Amino acid sequence: MSYFAWLEKAVAEAIAQKRIGSPVSLRAFFHLSADHGVLLPLLGEALGAAGVWFAAPAVRVYALGGARDGQVTALVEYAAGQTALVSVATLHDPAPLADLLLIGNHGTLRYQDQPDYRPADRANAKLLQAIEKSLAGQAPVEVAP
């Protein structure tokens, strides 16, 4: 099982247990690979997992940075009004790091890990296109339905 498939399932189980109520906001950052080429797919996987947790598709994205720069950050709005601020960056330290804070209407869920990440090609193509368009235009863009 890929790292994000596992993470998506673990967080979804915590949500199903009503530990935080309904998720409304996510702040996360991931330093999982030294390979600049996996930053956008990694970001896409993270934002796709957020859509599962929010039970809503992404509708608007504003991304800054770039794979060549070694860091990409996206602010994403989901259909039911939830937001996610997710940053991915190249790994400079020997240990990878995943850190997320999911805020619900009745609590929070904090998760930190040092995972062994391997790209799994699970990112939504339309979301990746919107991220790339936002990076190119340095402006928010709508995510195609």
Cβ(114)–Cβ(56) under 8 Å? no
Say what the pLDDT of residue 94 is: 82
| Distance from C-alpha of 108 to C-alpha of 117, rounded to nearest angstrom | 25
Q: Which of 20, 13, 2, 6 is nearest to 110 (CA)?
A: 20
Q: Which residues contact 112 (CB under 8 A, 6 or more apart)?
A: 97, 98, 99, 100
What integer pLDDT is reported at residue 57 of this predicted model? 93
pTM of the model: 0.91
Segment 57-69 mean pLDDT? 94
Which pLDDT band holds residue 20 (cuts at 50, 70, 90)? very high
Residue 120 has pLDDT above 80, yes or no: no
Average pLDDT over residues 74-93: 94
102: burial class by Cβ within 10 Å (0-12, 13-18, 19+)? buried
